[in-house]
Every structure is written in C-alpha cells, then in structure tokens.
Amino acid sequence: MNAPRALTRLSALVTTLALSLCLSTQASAQSAFSPAVFVGEKVVTYFEIEQRTLLLSLMNFPGDARKEARKQLVDERLQLIAADLMGIAPSEEGMENGIASFAKRFNMEPEQLLETVKSAGLAEESLRAFLYARIAWQGVVQTRFGGSVQVTEEEVNRAIASNTGAGGVNVLLSEIIIPVTPQTAEEVRALALQLSQINSQTAFEEAAKTYSQSATKDDGGRLDWLSITKLPAQLRPILMGLGPGEVSDPIPLPNATAVFMMRGKRETNVPAPRYSAIDYAAYMIPGGYSETALQTAAEMKGRVDTCDDLYGEAFGKPEGILDRQAVTPGKLPRDYALELAKLDEGEVSTSLTRKTSDGGQALVFLMLCGRSAEPGEEISREDVAMALRNQRLISFADGYLEQLRAETTIVEK
C-alpha cells in the first residue's frame, strides 16, 4: 500500500469513527475514566477501551473491535505487571523507534501517522501506550527466558543438513493449519499449544481432521515427501530440528497458525536444489471459503492450465484481482510459500484467503508457474540457531502470559 492510498483508507474512517467516539464519550462523559477492569492493582478505564477500539478500527481489524480492545488491554496490564517487577521500562529512543516501525506498516512517516490518527480522535498517548506495552513485554521475555533458551549443536547440525550441498534431505510431514482472526487469536493460540503436545501420529491425524483448514485435512494432514529446500527458509531450521514423531511449537502464518509433525526424514545422493526465484500467480475470488467462491475456483481449475491463462480470467475484472510475481523464496509470504512447496508447475491451491479492501474475504486461487533453481549460499549456523531460539521464546512467552493470568485477580466491571 502506498502512502496516499493508506491516507485515503485511514481518512475514510475518520469522520464516522470520530463521530462514534464523540457520541459514546458524550453518553458516558462522567464515567469515561472510571475503571472498567481491575487487573491486580492496575486498572483499565472505559476511556482506554474507547481509544483502543478506535485504534483497532483504524488498523482495519475485522469483527468486534471493542471486545478485542478490552482483551488486549487486560493482557497488557499483565505484561506491565511483569515489567514492573523486573524494573523494565522502554527508553524514549526505543519508543521513537517503535513509532517509526509502526508507521512503516502504513508506508507513512511517523509525523504523518500521528497527524492522521489525531484527526480521527486518537490521542498520541493512547498510541504510545499501545507500543509501550509491546516493547516492555519484549524486554520481559528476553530477560526472563533469553538466557535459558539453549539450542544444542546437534539441533543446529540437523537443521542445517539441508544446506550442506553434498546431498538432499527430504522430509515427510503432517500439518495442521488453523485460521486466525483477531476474535479467535487467543483461542487458537491455546489450541495450538495443546496440539503441539501431541505425541502420537493417530492423535495428530484426528486433530488435523477436526481443526485444520488445509486441503490435507481429510488425509489427516499428511503431506508427501518434500525436499526441505522447497519449504520457507524461515521454517527449515525449525522443521529440521524435529526428530521422527516430534511436533513443532505453534508457528505463526498470515491469518493462520501451523503445527507440524515430522513423520520421517531421509537423505538422498541427489543434491537438493536451491531456488533463486519462485514464479507464482494469485487470483482473488470474492467470498472467501463460501460455496460460491469454491465453485468458481473449481470451474477455473477446469479452464486454466498455465499461469498465462489467468490473464484471460482477469480481463475486464477490477484492478488487483490477479497478482503475478517471480520473487526470491525469502520474499514469499510464509503461507504462500508453504502452499507452493506442495505444488508442481501448473498446479493450484485454494486453501488460503486474503482480506479485501472492503473488509471482506477473498479465496486465493494460487498457482505455481515455475521455480528457478541455482546454487545459493549456505545458511549460517548463527541464523539457524537464532530461528530455533526465537521460536522457543514465543512459546515461553505465551506460557508465561497464561501463568500471569492465572496468578492475577481480574475483576470485570
């Protein structure tokens, strides 16, 4: 999204949201700063909920923004309790860097972002509070768990095996892909943590049939043998670190969370190809996972044999309905990369969705056009160890937040 388009999208919400906030504030002016939730000795006020609701709406969160706002603010109070106990407080420089990073999500400069949200009625202090809690929590997680998360040499060796160049490594995986929305994020996170504790293939396959959204769900999530180099580079160290029968920690994807089981691993004498570019096409079918959209996708599969055929499908349709790109593997969205890894040239996946500009959902008709293979640089041991370490930190952080929730008295007003 470019800056003018981002400004248009944000500005289009300003009048409606500002009016809504004004009416809500007038209706509850006397109680705006009254406690709405007690979290231990900290409070969440009604004003903060109004402000966070507005921020989430500006960020185009789907669903019940007010419910999500209350939940986020309670989580942040728990995180700040932990930060206070450890004496962790973001510096002013850290806050400015956080604002700059957040502004980049909208292709804006920090000043431009602050002016835009201010015009919608969002106080700068509310945006800073949102970022402050996130930066503080990162400090808590690093301080509490950073020194105890160890990655062994054996794990690194196993993870880096696919990049030795002496031969290839194929993996036999099962997958569970669970869609995530802001409304279901907490529920999905808890479910994924439970699924990551599964220790039998039968139980994993039953869970895949129950919870997975992937096209493999009817087969219990089972994938065929794959060269590890076809999978997203960020996931290779995590998956290669698994032994047979082991299950990964939850892995975040765009709009989903994934859990993998390693069913088998084998080395081959054929060098594993490294890909310099992945050529793909993504055609957006309105309606998400609706029967109408799935029927349209099925009909398209019968008409198209190559990615070039999709240009005919897109003729006369709205701009942006077809996205055709050839990019380095590292620039693929992680969910696209996972689906494309399962495909041969000319094959199609219809397992993914994307949010549309009007807040709806589109079914992604994702076709692999081709792969360009050439030798690449071997991944460094430091990169492998860092990927494994970060994945474990995420798991520890989720567990610690649940512990804080259990230990803290939370009273809803």
Give the confidence band of 14 by pLDDT, cuts at 50, 70, 90: very low
Per-residue model confidence (pLDDT) at position 187: 87
Task: Give the predicted TM-score (pTM) of the model.
Answer: 0.48
The answer to whether residue 217 scores a pLDDT higher than 70 is yes
Mean pLDDT (the chain) is: 82
- CATH number of 275-373: 3.10.450, 3.10.50, 2.50.20, 2.10.260? 3.10.50
Give the confidence band of 255 by pLDDT, cuts at 50, 70, 90: confident
One fold for both 3-145 and 275-373?
no
Per-residue model confidence (pLDDT) at position 96: 93
| Domain positions in the chain | 3-145, 159-272+377-404, 275-373
Give the confidence band of 237 by pLDDT, cuts at 50, 70, 90: confident
Instruction: Give the architecture-level CATH label for domain 3-145.
Output: Orthogonal Bundle (1.10)
The answer to whether residue 5 scores a pLDDT higher than 90 is no
- What percent of the chain is predicted at pLDDT more than 70? 84
The residue written with tokens 């040239």 in the block is 345
* 104's tokens: 């980049």
Lowest mean pLDDT among 29-38, 352-361, 363-372, 402-411: 29-38
The one-letter amino acid code at 42 reads: K
pLDDT tens profile 140-177: 999 998 887 777 877 776 665 544 444 467 889 999 99
Rounded-to-integer distance, Cα 82 and Cα 85, Å: 5
User: If you average pLDDT over each of 3-7, 225-229, 331-335, 403-407, which comes out highest?
Assistant: 403-407
Radius of gyration of the chain (CA): 23
Higher pLDDT, residue 386 or 220: 220
pLDDT tens profile 41-56: 999 999 999 999 998 8
Q: Is 316 left (phi over 0), alpha (psi -120 to 50) or beta?
A: left
Please count the other Cβ atoms lying within 10 Å of the Cβ belonging to residue 227: 17
The answer to whether residue 396 scores a pLDDT higher than 90 is no
The answer to whether residue 3 scores a pLDDT higher than 50 is no
Sequence-distant (≥ 6) Cβ neighbours of residue 15 within 8 angstroms = none
pLDDT tens profile 74-110: 999 999 999 999 999 999 999 999 999 888 766 678 8
- What percent of the chain is predicted at pLDDT more than 90? 40
Q: What is the mean pLDDT of residues 330-341?
A: 88
Rounded-to-integer distance, Cα 95 and Cα 101, Å: 10
Rounded-to-integer distance, Cα 408 and Cα 299, Å: 54
pLDDT tens profile 336-348: 999 998 898 899 9
Higher pLDDT, residue 322 or 22: 322
Per-residue model confidence (pLDDT) at position 179: 86
For 135-274, list the strands marked E by DSSP: 168-179, 226-227, 251-253, 256-268
DSSP 306: S
Give the confidence band of 380 by pLDDT, cuts at 50, 70, 90: low
pLDDT tens profile 358-373: 778 899 999 999 887 6
- Residue 35 pairs in a beta bridge with 45
Give the confidence band of 216 by pLDDT, cuts at 50, 70, 90: very high
Quick check: 64 and 35 in contact, CB under 8 A?
Answer: no
Sequence-distant (≥ 6) Cβ neighbours of residue 63 within 8 angstroms = 181, 182, 183
Q: What is the mean pLDDT of residues 317-325?
A: 88
Give the confidence band of 19 by pLDDT, cuts at 50, 70, 90: very low
The answer to whether residue 257 scores a pLDDT higher than 60 is yes
User: If you average pLDDT over each of 64-68, 328-332, 366-370, which comes out highest?
Assistant: 366-370
Tell me whether residue 315 is exposed, middle or buried, using C-beta atoms within 10 angstroms of its C-beta: 0 to 12, 13 to 18, 19 or more: exposed
Please count the other Cβ atoms lying within 10 Å of the Cβ belonging to residue 371: 21
**159-272+377-404 has which fold?**
Chitinase A; domain 3 (3.10.50)
